[in-house]
Amino acid sequence: MVACTKPSFVVTCSVSWYRTLGTSEIIFIALFIVLYTVYLIRIIRIAKSLRTPFATVFIKLFLRTAVFALLIVALLGPSFGAAKREVQSVGKDIMICVDLSKSMDAFDITPTRLEKVKYEMKKIVQAFNSDRIGIIIFSSEAFMQCPLTYDQNALNLFIETMNTNLVPSSGTDFAPPLRMAMEKLENDNVRLSQTTSKVIVLISDGEDFGEETNTIAQQIESKGYKLFTLGVGTEEGGRIRAGTGYRTDRQGNVVVTKLNSKALQSLASKTGGHYFEINENRNDVARMINTINTIEGELMDARLIDVSANKYFYFLLMAVILLAVDVLVHIRTIRI
């Protein structure tokens, strides 16, 4: 989120305009001059023929010219009284690690586990539009898909292109993505403050075949980073499509991949985080978003910006007052 401190105003004499004097304004000015000139010529001609004074006509001319000029100025939108305002950007860094092993192609969640994750990840990106988000994809190895960024369009593009062919298909290991996420958050130098508001979200079906996960989890906890796990799938499991059939093991048996929620729950509890789940009957993404929102953001940067306000209404008000005077005060333009 973005927070603004109380601004300290430094008023300047410069004037800026919302719009420049264009063709429309020039046409209005020209029409006013031409029509009022014709009107003056007619009044002066009549007055001379009647041999009467006509000087008071210029009072109306001055009044109506002032009204017209004020309306033109209001239309152009003058801004003055500029000020300097300090704007502080406060937010979190969220690194999302997404399991792209072949088990994520299981369809115990329609249409598949991975497609459901991609759909929900777009909601997460939208929910944290004022925070920086990065994406790491992994199976037995981890790869940086998108570094920390505010760019939602880039994040959604990377999410849309995710598939299980982007990573090696040799099992799942949580340690590489968690290590990479921790290093990327640790080496980031954007933060101005010393506190931490850095979050890691691990999305997987929980089938971890690595041996260093517990060690990495302890390191994450020691740094104060928050780790949340999101389990995808059902404990009954699902088959994985392969061509026109289903994926089989070496013995020719159809592979059934099941959600290992206990592994993800254990990992989250070791780091003081929380476990959430997605399946056909349960969707904790909204609850996860609310939980992450409770984490206080920290100062990203602070900068002074020029602030000016459109003061058109002052000129419009003056024009209305003078127009009322013109209507209510009757002045004889020709005295007989």
Model pLDDT, residue 197: 81
Q: What separation in angstroms does the CA of 247 have from each of 106, 145, 236, 241, 280?
A: 10, 27, 17, 6, 22
> Tell me, what's the pLDDT at 87?
59
> What are the backbone angles phi and psi of residue 117, rounded to the nearest 5°?
-65, -45
The count of other CB atoms within 10 Å of the CB of residue 310 is 14
Per-residue pLDDT band at 124 (split at 50, 70, 90): very high
| Residue 118 clears pLDDT 60, i.e. is over it | yes
For 79-111, the DSSP string reads EEEEEEEEEEEEE-EEEEEEE-SGGGGB-SSSS
| Res 246: pLDDT | 87
Average pLDDT, integer, range 54-70: 86
pLDDT at residue 122, rounded to an integer? 96
| 3-class DSSP state of 16 | strand
Name which of 69-73, 87-91, 208-212, 241-245 the model is least confident about: 87-91
d(CA 106, CA 119): 16
Phi-psi region of 272 (alpha: psi -120 to 50; beta: other; left: phi over 0): left
**CA–CA dist 175, 209 (Å, integer):** 10
What band does 156 get if pLDDT is binned at 50, 70 and 90? very high
Residue with tokens 């009284």: 81
Band of pLDDT at residue 144, cut at 50, 70 and 90: very high
- What contacts 260, CB < 8 A, 6 or more positions away? 205, 206, 207, 208, 231
Per-residue pLDDT band at 1 (split at 50, 70, 90): very low
Residue 79: the pLDDT is 75
pLDDT at 248 over 90: no
* DSSP line for 132-143: EEEEEEESSSEE
Q: What is the pLDDT of residues 287-298, one digit of tens each?
A: 999 999 988 777
In the predicted model, what is the mean pLDDT of residues 175-201?
79
The answer to which of 182-196, 212-226, 287-301, 321-335 has the lowest mean pLDDT is 182-196
Q: What percent of the chain has pLDDT above 90?
A: 42
pLDDT at 195: 46
pLDDT at 3: 40
- Count of residues in the chain: 336
How far is the C-alpha of 206 from the C-alpha of 231, rounded, in Å?
6
Q: Of the candidates 165, 175, 186, which has an alpha carbon nearest to the alpha carbon of residue 141?
A: 175
Tell the residue number behind the tokens 């990327």, with chain if given: 184
pLDDT digits (tens, 9 = 90+) for 13-45: 466 777 788 888 899 899 999 998 998 888 888
More confident residue, 48 or 286: 286
- pLDDT for 336: 54
Task: Give 93-296's CATH code, choosing from 3.30.360.10, 3.30.450.20, 3.40.50.12780, 3.40.50.410.
Answer: 3.40.50.410
Between 250 and 266, name the one with better pLDDT: 266
For 196, residues 6+ apart whose C-beta sits below 8 A from its C-beta are: 223, 224, 225, 298
pLDDT (mean) for 116-134: 94
**Spatial distance between the Cα atoms of 255 and 250, rounded to a whole number of angstroms:** 10
Q: What is the pLDDT of residue 306?
A: 57
Higher-confidence residue: 5 or 246? 246
Mean pLDDT computed over 53-58: 79
187 pLDDT tier (thresholds 50, 70, 90): confident
Query: What percentage of the chain's residues is helix, strand, coil (to nearest 5)?
Result: 40, 25, 35
* Neighbouring residues of 142: CB distance < 8 A, sequence distance ≥ 6: 97, 136, 176, 177, 179, 180
Residue 155's pLDDT band (boundaries 50, 70, 90)? very high
Q: What is the mean pLDDT of the chain?
A: 84
Highest mean pLDDT among 37-41, 205-209, 241-245: 37-41
Q: How far apart are CA 90 and CA 112, in angstroms?
A: 36
Span(s) in the chain for CATH 3.40.50.410:
93-296
- The DSSP bridge partners found for residue 85 are 305
DSSP 8-class letter at 9: -
